[in-house]
């Protein structure tokens, strides 16, 4: 439900944005993986900078709240080491600043890759680190083909 795919112009704008760090994985001179991270929270439209700054006030004062925008690897290389190497490099960016890294994982990947265990394994590489869920949202859909019988609002929907 959350918009994870951007249009071409939005992707090009992020790639051109100097406030977003890009980490590129290469194989035989071709880009095969990409990780993006930033501490410029206003450049990430799907998050609330105010929520993160209120949650991590000390890090907000030092501008060390980072958001991991994405990590992607071409399908032929998934399940190999490139994904982990990109993640380690991405996590190193806030670690070098003594910061926090915030990121989201969709439920599909959460279930398929056991990302609770995966993120803990990545965190274990960093001395004195910890990882936890700060928020989780589940999207529901209710299929409502008929109204409640004899409801005071009647059978016609009220539009305002």
pLDDT in tens, the chain (160 residues): 456 667 889 889 999 999 999 999 999 999 999 999 999 999 998 899 999 999 999 999 999 999 999 999 998 887 678 988 998 999 999 999 999 999 988 787 778 878 788 888 888 999 999 898 888 777 677 878 888 888 887 656 555 5
Superfamily of the domain at 8-123: Gcn5-related N-acetyltransferase (GNAT) (3.40.630.30)
What are the backbone dihedrals phi and psi of residue 80, each rounded to the nearest 5 degrees, phi first?
-105, -160
Q: How far is it, in rounded angstroms, from Cα 30 to Cα 90? A: 20
The domain spans of the chain are: 8-123
Q: What global pTM score does this model have? A: 0.80
**What is the DSSP code string of 110-148?**
HHHHTHHHHHHHHHTTSTT-----------------SPP
């Amino acid at each position: 439900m959350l918009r994870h795919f951007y249009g071409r112009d939005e992707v090009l704008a992020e790639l051109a944005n100097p406030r977003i760090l890009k980490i590129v994985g290469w194989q035989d001179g071709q880009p095969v993986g990409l990780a993006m991270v930033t501490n410029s929270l206003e450049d990430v439209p799907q998050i609330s900078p105010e929520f993160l700054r209120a949650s991590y006030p000390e890090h907000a004062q030092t501008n060390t709240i980072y958001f991991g925008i994405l990590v992607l690897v071409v399908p032929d290389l998934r399940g190999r080491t490139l994904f982990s190497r990109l993640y380690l490099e991405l996590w190193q960016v806030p670690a070098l600043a003594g910061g926090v890294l915030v990121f989201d994982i969709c439920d599909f990947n959460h279930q398929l890759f056991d990302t609770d265990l995966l993120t803990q394994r990545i965190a274990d590489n960093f001395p004195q680190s910890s990882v936890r869920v700060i928020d989780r949202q589940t999207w529901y859909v209710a299929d409502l083909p008929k109204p409640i019988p004899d409801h005071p609002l009647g059978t016609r929907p009220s539009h305002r």
